[in-house]
Amino acid sequence: MHIQYTTDLFGLLLCFLFLSCLKDADANRFKFYYLPTSLSNLTNPFVSNDNVTNSPNFTFAGGKSFYNGIYYVSTMTSGQNGFNINLSFANLFEGTELRICLNDPGCLANPLLYSVVLASGVSNLDLNLPIPGTYPVNIGGNSLNVALINNSQIISQKYNSLIYDNSAPSLSLSVSGGTYTSVQTISVTCTDSISGCKDLIYSINGADSSLSLLTDFDPLQIVSGAVFPISLGIGSGTSTLKILASDRAGNLVGPLTPSIYP
């Protein structure tokens, strides 16, 4: 009984001291203070997190070199390889630096493909970016890295897949050149294991089939020839085909010129 009495007395003493601290020094009343009970923001319950949604950020907004979620490097009219990219920005700080590079998250180590200090009002950039011949790039898959830097700190960074292909596709024909005694049907197979085939055109008994790049990163235009059908029937008489193909990087193969004789 003595122990229980001592515990109760100690509890009453603590309660009295707590209530005395709450009492207003200038009036005979008590002040009560709000103590947060939510666990949603224990680090600083009195500060709003709205500034997180207003932080500087950007998105990949496609571009001429963007296809099925991937950027493809292609040949430019200058003879260099490069790509087109479109970026959208929001909530930029004045003086934020944009960096673009390959295979280097944050673009802190590898050489930069592009760098510029952005004004706070910039909302979109459409960029044609050549890749110098000495730039370190992988044949095939690469990581296209983009970062926003402010006060030497990375404030936003993202990446997207990029394909670099500097080799031409290959063509194979179901019928080789030669002499035949019956009508022949020809089909053509284009193969490119890196960027994939894109254009397949032909001409018959006429000018060379040809493709031309009129504007950087636009699709190649047919100068001479026509799109090759699923298969092509060759009638009697001597026929000379000229077949040309391209891949998504703008590399060309051909024209192949099989001759079919009666």
Per DSSP, the three-state class of 103 is coil
Q: What is the pLDDT of residues 90-122, one digit of tens each?
A: 888 888 999 999 999 999 987 999 999 998 888
For residue 224, the tally of other CB atoms under 10 A from its CB is: 16
- pLDDT at 10 > cutoff 80: no
H/E segment holding residue 130 = strand 124-131
Q: Tell me what pLDDT residue 254 has.
A: 84
Q: How many whole angstroms separate alpha carbon 131 and alpha carbon 150? A: 25
Q: What is the mean pLDDT of the chain?
A: 79
Residue keyed to tokens 């122990």: 3
The residue segments making up the domain with residue 133 are: 57-164
4 within a domain of the structure (yes/no): no
Count of structural domains within the chain: 2
Of 164, 184, 218, the residue that ends a domain is 164
- pLDDT at 3 > cutoff 90: no
87/103 same-domain check = yes
Of 119, 136, 164, the residue that ends a domain is 164
Q: What is the pLDDT of residues 235-249, one digit of tens each?
A: 666 677 788 999 999
154/125 same-domain check = yes
Q: What is the pTM of this model?
A: 0.72
92/142 same-domain check = yes
Q: What is the pLDDT of residues 32-74, one digit of tens each?
A: 444 443 333 333 433 333 344 578 889 999 999 999 999 999 9
Q: What is the pLDDT of residues 125-140, one digit of tens each?
A: 999 999 999 999 999 9
